[in-house]
Structure 1
Amino acid sequence: MTFLPRLPQLLDEAAVRHGVPGAAIAVGLGGELAEAATGVVNRGTGVEATTDSVFQIGSVTKLWTAALVMQLVDEGLVDLDAPVRRYLPEFGVIDAAASETVTVRHLLSHTGGFDGDLFEDTGRGDDALDRLVAFIRTNATQVHRPGALFSYCNAGYCVLGALVAALRGGTWESVVRERLIGPLGVTHMALFAEEAVLFRAAVGHLSEPGGPQRVVAHWQMPRSNAPAGATPCAAPRELVRLGRMFLADGVAEDGTRVLSAGAFAAMREPQIAPPLIGERAPVGWGLGFMLFNWDGVPVVGHDGSTPGQTTCMRIVPDWNLVVAVTLNGGAVGAFLDDVLTPVFADTAGIRVPQRPRPPAEPVPFVPDGYPGSFSGPLVTYAVAAADGGLDITTIPKGFAAEEGEKPTTVRYVPLGAHRFVAAEPVDGIHPVLAFIDNGRYLYNTRAVPRVSG
């Protein structure tokens, strides 16, 4: 390791401090690569985590799916502003007008406006994605007009995966292998469980508040949601490999052109500004990429999570820097803060913005207009006025309830501008949410619509 000599120690200490069973990190700076790993991939077996261990990358997968779509754009096979139905006639949602007008750009930028968390298990066959598209037609309600708001949408990326598969004449997985995994020279990545067992594969760990950690019972989410991040696993170095292709303006390490010149720049162009809930949060969203401004420096990337596993990937174009961190449980947010802060300082002199915290002095607010019920496919939020803030009860539904998540109530205190922060830390950080559009939506990366109150 020629740079970041304290990386293994940073990872070890942060994992112990925050109850993380296992983690791995890869940092690419120019042509150099620093890697480290700590802990175990599975507390049930005690198998050691190594730098080539594969962790579930969750929604970081969306960068792979977005790249596949941009390849189609490069070849003139897709127009970003054309309706999705031009390329995938089977696409539709409950709202007939939205079905005709949602564009490829809308899906890439999470502005399609329909329910995003439709984790229907449609089986493990090659038709899983097609069957989910059929499910979306009769189950995806319209949350807002297409293009009007940002609301994180997993289902939209599943539709993009189906579009890619249809135009390429294969499955989403076969296209990823042919168009990205192979050309990039990726070796430590798995798209199915039967591939993951060939590697040192991590499992997720969850715990109830104050309780012991347990291994997640269901290791893999439904194949129907693979293009959004349900199934892929990778070692952090492979995410760095993907990031380096973007930084090289679409060229892989062996000189193979994967994306057209200028495609990465186009993917970083802001498409919409989500509600700003803190300086650490995205200031915009591109074509697949989360857009940040950290310490005055443009940073892009994506986060990912599956039950008990988390991945964070960041790219700093000005510094030719890629950072990928994966872990399998514990106080995720606090762990990432303790690792990313020194890594960004040591490699690029960038100050990672602090997360919001409860204000030292109470912020006056009038509770009128906030209480009520807000509901989406995976969760209902019951909001009640409380002393100096709001009590928000999260009631899991659907896939979340099936995975064993339990209702929880958290006290939120006002930050001003219709934003609220958790009074006590959750997984080592204080989550922030906002009420937008005159209280019509509770926003926490999803615009969750009010259903009563």
Structure 2
Amino acid sequence: MDIARRGLLAAGALAGGMVLARPVLAAGLPVQVGADSASPAFRAAFERLVAFARSEIEAWGFPGLSLSLLGVNGEVATAGIGFANLDVRTAVTTAQLFQIGSISKSFVAVALLRLADQGKIDLDRPILSFAPDLPVEDARVTTAHVINHVAGFPGNAPPFPHETGGKLWSGTVPGAHFHYSNSGYDMLALLIQRATGMAFPTAMRQLVFAPLGMEASEPVIRTRDRALFASGYGPLKSDRAWFPGDRLVEGSWVDIERAAGSVAATPGDMAKWMRFISACATGAPQPLLSAASARRFTSPAVAAPDFGADAKYAMGLAGFAIDDGPVLHHTGGMITFSSAMTVDAGQGGGCFASVNFTGFDGYRPRRVTAYGVRLIRALAAGTALPDAPEAAALPPVAEPGNFTGRWVWPDGVAMTIEARAGGLVVSTAGRTARLRPDGPRSFRTDYPHIPTDRLDFEGERGRAERLWWGSALLGRDAAVPQQPSDPKLAALAGRYMSNDPWVGSVVVLARGQKLLVEGFGELAPHADGSWRFTDPELSAERAWFDATVNGQAQRLSLSGEPMIRQS
């Protein structure tokens, strides 16, 4: 499941665990390469890719990376880089499974396209006409709407949400608006079960994995297979922002059987998957789909700004251009893994990469897979191999002077924000902490023992004049009048948390006459008793507050996921 704006609930979640890991030692990262049958030219290109991937995880401080490169002519190379387990210092191997997250959606799309080719379903008819008991509220929703994220479903509602009678609602007219929904894909597993008469994992193996020879991979994540996986990691300090190089902790293991993202794969099997996608995109022979379904699978048609200004989406893949050449792309973020896959849609070939570090902090190895595509294009064209991008973790803050200076709390206490080594630091109450960008005018901090780690700046003409830290408004060089909160809104404000690692926590703030979910925007009351985001891009999401005790709401259900107030 991709965790970013597309994963509203998971944005507050961080991996938990108890095994303290030693820091990654960049100079000692092991590398295992599998490229025995590759030509010298392809091996030379892959060596460049491996070197860049290694420098990337060194810059970020990630444990390890699983990598595969597929050439235009079908050549394959794979690699394991870094550590599969930091505590015992075992190396990543090319035989280990990594969780690929939302890249799984392309597998689900192909399974449904196969069922359509067999006449068992019609992707363009209302889904309820095939399965009238599926949890869908709007009878106009088709299977294709769900696959393409235009059903209007919420991003991460649980199965059968209590607040809506167990059904997924459509926040927009089906077909009219892209809103990335893991919930919709999870429901598609039920449709696959109905159409095949098999359990979801069995159906996926028979429809997709077995015909492509992906024998090392698994359609679901289960404890019984844990020994086959690299260990996954997250931040040691989960109550504040993580910065590259901070210490890590082995994350919680969670069994996952979700069509939205439960495939686990080796890099060799991912090369087989990219070969299949390449064949569909270029019209080459492939064993699964009719020619029409292959074209539909690899012809993104729905505007999908989540993937870029000019990106389009269809059938589990996003399409856009790299250096004026079309690619098919997807990423995946899991509790303790982050992945990316990029396939050249014009001539075939592609690159897959996955790191064993949490996907909840925004990172995906996109730069690695984009560089891989550039390398195979240069090989195919017979031109010089491109230089690797500069390895870097967090980008420098643009125009730091807009944010630096002296800031004053409502009680007159001052703090300073300074630029240091391309970044920003905040100093107050005798402590100094780092800031990292989290939007054009927002930052997160690792300042200890605070109820919220997010700072939001306001001001005209670029230079910030006011700073929100939680519900407090700070002024530049002098305290500014506060905006008294509506008591009814203040009764809803607070930190709400779930022990489900997929849900995590959110902070609800009352700022004057506005109620906000920190990091996502303003909520407004609706006539049906729910609260809804004023941002049209979040129109499919809902919030419900209830269980009032001592004048405060004790429970928040955010798009159906319950969270309890924390003191």
Shared topology, TM-score over 0.5? yes
Q: CA deviation at 1:300?
A: 0.8
- Partner Cα separation in structure 1 for residue 387 and residue 537 of structure 2: 27
On the 8 A contact 1:92/1:136 being kept in 2, the answer is no
Quickly say closer, same or farther: Cα 1:447–1:385, change in 2 above 3 A.
farther
Match status 1:238 vs 2:269: yes
On the 8 A contact 1:183/1:258 being kept in 2, the answer is yes
- Equivalent residue number for residue 440 of structure 1: 534
SS in 2 for 1:189: coil
On the 8 A contact 1:434/1:442 being kept in 2, the answer is no
On the 8 A contact 1:295/1:351 being kept in 2, the answer is no
On the 8 A contact 1:19/1:330 being kept in 2, the answer is no
Q: Deviations over 1:419-438 (max 9, x none)?
A: xxxxxxxxxxxx9x999xxx
1:137-156 matches, within 5 Å, as: 138=166, 140-156=168-184
- Partner Cα separation in structure 2 for residue 296 and residue 103 of structure 1: 33
> Residue 280 of structure 2 aligns to which amino acid in structure 1?
D
- Partner Cα separation in structure 2 for residue 352 and residue 77 of structure 1: 47
Quickly say closer, same or farther: Cα 1:352–1:277, change in 2 above 3 A.
farther
- Equivalent residue number for residue 109 of structure 1: 148
Match status 1:26 vs 2:68: yes
Q: CA deviation at 1:397?
A: 6.0
Question: TM-score when scaled to structure 2?
Answer: 0.59
Match status 1:286 vs 2:314: yes
Match among 85, 93, 104 for residue 61 of structure 1: 104
- When Rg is computed on C-alpha atoms for both structures, the one with the higher figure is 2
Match among 207, 228, 248 for residue 199 of structure 1: 228
1:364-383 matches, within 5 Å, as: none
SS in 2 for 1:248: helix
Q: CA deviation at 1:340?
A: 3.4
Q: Deviations over 1:233-284 (max 9, x none)?
A: 1112212211211222399x9x8721112323212333321337855xx611
SS in 2 for 1:197: helix
Q: Deviations over 1:334-353 (max 9, x none)?
A: 77255235323322259999
On the 8 A contact 2:179/2:540 being kept in 1, the answer is yes
SS in 1 for 2:305: coil
> Residue 160 of structure 1 aligns to which amino acid in structure 2?
L
- Equivalent residue number for residue 306 of structure 1: 334
- Partner Cα separation in structure 2 for residue 289 and residue 347 of structure 1: 20
Q: CA deviation at 1:43?
A: 2.0
Question: TM-score when scaled to structure 1?
Answer: 0.73
On the 8 A contact 1:206/1:308 being kept in 2, the answer is no
On the 8 A contact 1:206/1:307 being kept in 2, the answer is no
Which structure 2 residue ranges, 5 or more long, are not aligned? 1-34, 379-385, 403-451, 471-492, 509-518, 523-532, 546-567
Name the count of aligned residue pairs.
390
Match among 47, 50, 62 for residue 5 of structure 1: 47
- Equivalent residue number for residue 259 of structure 2: 227
Deviates more, 1:323-332 or 1:38-47: 323-332
Match status 1:76 vs 2:148: no
> Residue 6 of structure 1 aligns to which amino acid in structure 2?
R
Q: What RMSD in Å do the two structures reach over aligned CA positions?
A: 4.2
On the 8 A contact 1:59/1:305 being kept in 2, the answer is yes
> Residue 278 of structure 2 aligns to which amino acid in structure 1?
L
Match status 1:348 vs 2:377: yes
On the 8 A contact 1:341/1:351 being kept in 2, the answer is no
Match status 1:270 vs 2:312: no
- Partner Cα separation in structure 1 for residue 175 and residue 126 of structure 2: 12
- Partner Cα separation in structure 1 for residue 177 and residue 469 of structure 2: 23
On the 8 A contact 1:27/1:323 being kept in 2, the answer is yes
- Equivalent residue number for residue 260 of structure 1: 290
- Partner Cα separation in structure 1 for residue 61 and residue 507 of structure 2: 21
On the 8 A contact 2:296/2:315 being kept in 1, the answer is yes
- Partner Cα separation in structure 2 for residue 450 and residue 89 of structure 1: 27
> Residue 165 of structure 1 aligns to which amino acid in structure 2?
Q
Higher helix share: 1
Identity %: 22
Q: CA deviation at 1:203?
A: 2.1
> Residue 104 of structure 1 aligns to which amino acid in structure 2?
T
On the 8 A contact 2:152/2:540 being kept in 1, the answer is no
Quickly say closer, same or farther: Cα 1:333–1:323, change in 2 above 3 A.
farther
On the 8 A contact 1:249/1:262 being kept in 2, the answer is no
- Equivalent residue number for residue 251 of structure 2: 216
Q: CA deviation at 1:150?
A: 0.7
Quickly say closer, same or farther: Cα 1:141–1:337, change in 2 above 3 A.
closer
- Partner Cα separation in structure 2 for residue 399 and residue 34 of structure 1: 42
> Residue 176 of structure 2 aligns to which amino acid in structure 1?
A
1:315-394 matches, within 5 Å, as: 315-329=343-357, 336=365, 338-349=367-378, 360=399, 386-387=458-459, 388=464
Quickly say closer, same or farther: Cα 1:362–1:293, change in 2 above 3 A.
farther
Quickly say closer, same or farther: Cα 1:67–1:76, change in 2 above 3 A.
same
Quickly say closer, same or farther: Cα 1:361–1:135, change in 2 above 3 A.
closer
SS in 1 for 2:192: helix
SS in 1 for 2:180: coil
1:409-428 matches, within 5 Å, as: none
On the 8 A contact 1:55/1:233 being kept in 2, the answer is yes
Q: Deviations over 1:359-393 (max 9, x none)?
A: 65999xxxxxxxxxxxxxxxx9x997634398697
Q: Deviations over 1:111-141 (max 9, x none)?
A: 1112230245xxxxxxxxxxx5999852534
SS in 2 for 1:319: coil
> Residue 15 of structure 1 aligns to which amino acid in structure 2?
I
Q: CA deviation at 1:442?
A: 6.0
Quickly say closer, same or farther: Cα 1:200–1:77, change in 2 above 3 A.
closer
Q: CA deviation at 1:177?
A: 0.9
Q: Deviations over 1:303-344 (max 9, x none)?
A: 111112111111112131121101112798677255235323
> Residue 69 of structure 1 aligns to which amino acid in structure 2?
L
- Partner Cα separation in structure 1 for residue 170 and residue 467 of structure 2: 27
- Equivalent residue number for residue 186 of structure 2: 158
Quickly say closer, same or farther: Cα 1:353–1:13, change in 2 above 3 A.
closer
> Residue 266 of structure 1 aligns to which amino acid in structure 2?
R
- Partner Cα separation in structure 2 for residue 183 and residue 276 of structure 1: 32
